[in-house]
Amino acid sequence: MVGTGLHLWTEGATSTDKVAEYVATTTKLASVGEPVLEYTNTSATGAPGTQLVVDFDADGSVDGILVSEPAFYGNDWWVGGSSKQFVKDGAPSHSGGYGSSNHGTLDQWRGAFPTAKVLAFGFSLGSGVKGDGVLDAIDFAGDRYTFAAKGSGEQCKDGGWSTSTSPVFHNQGECVSSFATTK
């Protein structure tokens, strides 16, 4: 933690240098708006990308991850090779040069998969990209997510406990207790 932000960095020495975090959700892709990372770059290197873990056919399972890297690809979102084949086949565009040959704007993805649901959202910095900066907030589906220092269970209140993906809490009391015992 740096002030009210989350300090992110990678050395970029190998393709496995990576930092990522996700928040669980059950939001229709059609309702997410345009997610934004509020990030202050403290070096002249890479910035994190936004990631949406998506159930494209609304069957309850993850089918792929939509990735946005505006510094490299503007308003384009792409899916990687580990996405299910029907997602890659249904991608709005199959031309190269956008992180993947399976890409399109978020509106195009919404049109191609109108029943899709986002199961988690977050950020990723790495995969060989060297970066250093502070993530101050994530704007997602009309809500603003910020960061609080450990030591207080305040972020557990009002359903905050249910948004943690690591560790996963079963109730507010369990979340608050984790802060009381954390050194």
**Confidence (pLDDT) at 165:** 62
Residue 1 in any domain: the answer is: no
Domain match, 81 and 97 both: yes
More confident call, 148 vs 75: 75
pTM of the model: 0.80
Residue 10 in any domain: the answer is: yes
Domain match, 118 and 159 both: no
Q: Does pLDDT of 162 surpass 50? A: yes
- Total domains, the chain: 2
Q: Does pLDDT of 59 surpass 80? A: yes
Residue 14 has phi, psi (to 5 degrees) of -135, 165
* Lowest-pLDDT range of 10-19, 57-66, 126-135, 146-155: 146-155
Those residues whose C-beta lies under 8 Å from the C-beta of residue 102, and which sit 6 or more positions away, are 78, 79, 83, 87, 88, 91, 93, 94
pLDDT level of residue 181 (50, 70, 90 thresholds): very low
Residue 13 in any domain: the answer is: yes
Domain match, 50 and 96 both: yes
Domain match, 73 and 132 both: yes
Domain span at residue 154?
Answer: 149-183
Q: Does pLDDT of 183 surpass 50? A: no
Tokens of 51: 């990631």
Q: Does pLDDT of 141 surpass 70? A: yes
Euclidean distance between CA atoms 171 and 159, whole angstroms = 9
Domain match, 143 and 67 both: yes
